[in-house]
Amino acid sequence: MLTDKKSGGKLPQKVERRRIVRRMKRGARKVAPGGGNGPVLVAMLTLLCMFWACTGLIDGVKMGGPLGQLYCIVTALAAVTLAAALTLALFWAWGGPLSAQRVEESLARIGFANENGEVPELLSITQDPDNPRIKVQEYETCGLPPSDWRDRVDELQSALNLTILEVENGQDNQHIKLTTAPPASTLPTKILWTPDCMMDLKPFVLALGVDCAGRQVTWDLHQGHAVLAGMTGSGKSVALRCLLYQCITWGAVPVIVDLKGGVGFSRWAKKCRVITSIEDLLPVLEELSTEMAHREKVLAERHYQDIDEYNARPKAHRFDHIVLAIDEAAELFDKTGAGKAHKAMIEQAEQYITSIARRGRASGLHLLLSTQRPDSNTLPPQIKANVSFSACGMANEVLSKIVLDSTAAADLIPRGKQGCFVVSQGADNYVVTQAYYFDEWRLDYD
């Protein structure tokens, strides 16, 4: 008997009886023509019971007398009863997933029920034909609206031990579908990046890693700017290098800002500019700002919406995509303890970068910011407002809120889980992703 956490009592027996009847009706429909293997199984069961009954009748006739007659009656009744019981059992088994009772008990334990204590009824589980890791669960909602399901996704994932990829309406307002995948704990600890990971991607789409359904999670340069965050040991630096290497592979031009001395990017100087001081950064930002203004003028004069339309012209001078990557952005934007002159340089750099954040996408200038510091200096508001791709690895609640506007990274990523990120894909939609492991020493930088 299912119990409701709110009342502590048993669900009404009439509710359970109604569910059992509905389930058997669904199973009985599978016996109708076109119902799959149902008709064959029922026919075989009926023939088996008839054979048993006939055998019993023959044995009873051979015995003769009152005892033989009684044997015939008992055998016939037993055969009919068994046939009916097994048929009803088949109807029940065909009427819904065998795991339905366990699932509904799990929902009851977290109090996911209506005012009468009824929990949603699991009607079916369907496997995606193109991806066996994805399954669609259909429920009768028992009056719980889709907003309740979306608001309690984290609880539902924990109770059902799965990852909910999507919540959508079913055939009507009384049904709902959950698109699910295995839980995040099933993600591999390391997925080695190789050039083959880019094989199915469109130009200038960069692969961060793989989600619980085995699908690639990507950042499209055409869509805007990106932020990559995570505390020490989260795998942020490895993921950053992987994205930058893909930029180079696609023909984009990275400009890397590393105010920690550039040690982490010593090999990258062969492929792109590496800037290690704010004094060297300001002239570069001025140069990028001038280039952005030039491109905007050209696009406007020739009536192109963006760099891709412009570059698509035959035999045209092409504009390269430029990616300004700032490793540990808080080191650049932090004015704490800075002298007057240094503070003025920070403010000037922030103005340039804010301008790129607001205007750069159409003209092919993109920002890739990374950070590990959980404080207000991490992302200036005007820059954050123009970020379209946010990924946060292992983090505390403060850093997670700064990057994702929620505590999702702190809640969903276990401590010590390297390379695991939560990617924001819209309001209250977060995808747990295992980032590719990028072994730069195996790759050619020449």
Assess contact for 228 and 206: CB atoms under 8 A: no
- Number of domains into which the chain is organized: 3
Percentage above 70 pLDDT, the chain: 83
Query: Which residues constitute the domain of residue 215?
Result: 191-442
- Same domain? For 155 and 242 the reply is no
pTM of the predicted model as reported, rounded to 2 decimal places: 0.79
The stretches of 165-306 forming alpha helices (DSSP H) are: 236-250, 278-301
How confident is the model at residue 7, as a pLDDT? 43
| Pair (154, 106) in one structural domain | yes
Last residue of a domain, one of 147, 182, 217: 182
Tens-digit pLDDT profile for residues 40-65: 566 666 666 666 666 766 665 666 66
Residue 322 resides in a domain: yes
In this structure, the answer to whether residues 322 and 431 fall within a common structural domain is yes
- For residue 23, the SS3 value is helix
**Nearest residue to 128 via CA among 180, 176, 177:** 180
Mean pLDDT taken over the chain:
84
Among 128, 154, 182, give the residue marking a domain's end. 182
**Residue 345's CATH number:** 3.40.50.300
For the residues 187-191, what does the mean pLDDT come to?
89
Q: What is the pLDDT of residues 426-440, one digit of tens each?
A: 666 789 999 999 987
CA–CA gap between residue 326 and residue 324 (Å, rounded): 6
> What is the structure's pLDDT at 1?
44
| pLDDT tens per residue, range 348-394 | 999 999 999 999 999 999 999 999 887 766 788 888 889 999 999 99
Report whether 209 contacts 217 (CB < 8 A): yes
In terms of domains, do 263 and 307 share one? yes
The two tokens of residue 82 are 């068994």
In a domain, 376, yes or no: yes
Asked, for residue 15, whether it belongs to a domain, the answer is no
Tokens in use for 121?
């009824």
Per the domain annotation, does 46 fall within a domain?
yes
Q: Is residue 445 predicted with pLDDT exceeding 60?
A: no
pLDDT value at 37 more than 60: no
Q: Beta strand 216-220 with 225-229: parallel, antiparallel or unpaired? A: unpaired
Say yes or no: 155 and 236 in one domain: no
pLDDT tens-place string over residues 208-261:
999 999 999 999 999 889 999 999 889 999 999 999 999 999 999 999 999 887
26 in any annotated domain: no
CATH code for the domain in which residue 141 is found: 3.30.980
Residues 218 and 323 grouped into a single domain: yes
Contact 406, 163 (CB under 8 A): no
Q: If phi over 0 gives left and psi between -120 and 50 gives alpha, with beta otherwise, what is residue 188? A: beta
What local confidence, expressed as pLDDT, does residue 207 receive? 96
Question: Do residues 290 and 407 both lie within one domain?
Answer: yes
Work out the average pLDDT over 408-433.
85
Contact 59, 78 (CB under 8 A): no
Q: Based on the domain organization, do 169 and 45 belong to the same domain?
A: no
Q: How far apart are CA 275 and CA 270, in angstroms?
A: 13
For residue 16, tell me if it sits in a domain. no
Higher pLDDT, 361 or 270: 361
- Distance separating alpha carbons of residues 289 and 235, to the nearest angstrom: 32
* Residue 61 pLDDT: 62
What's residue 194's pLDDT?
A: 92
Eight-state DSSP code of residue 202: P
**314 and 360 co-located in one domain:** yes
Give a yes or no: residue 209 inside a domain. yes
Same domain as 198, residue 173: no
Mean pLDDT of 82-95: 72
Render pLDDT for 119-151 as a digit per residue (tens, 0 to 9).
898 988 899 998 989 999 999 998 899 999 988
Write the CA distances from 370 to 81, 132, 239, 324, 390, integer angstroms: 70, 34, 10, 11, 10
Same domain, 370 and 298: yes
**Of 94, 113, 144, which one is at a domain's C-terminal end?**
94
DSSP string, 91-142: HHHHTS-TTHHHHHHHHHHTT---TTSPPPEEEEEEE-SS-TT-EEEEEE-T
Residue 305 covered by a domain: yes
Residue with more model confidence, 22 or 127: 127
Question: In this structure, are residues 107 and 119 in contact, taking their beta carbons and an 8 Å threshold?
Answer: yes
Q: Are residues 150 and 240 in the same domain?
A: no
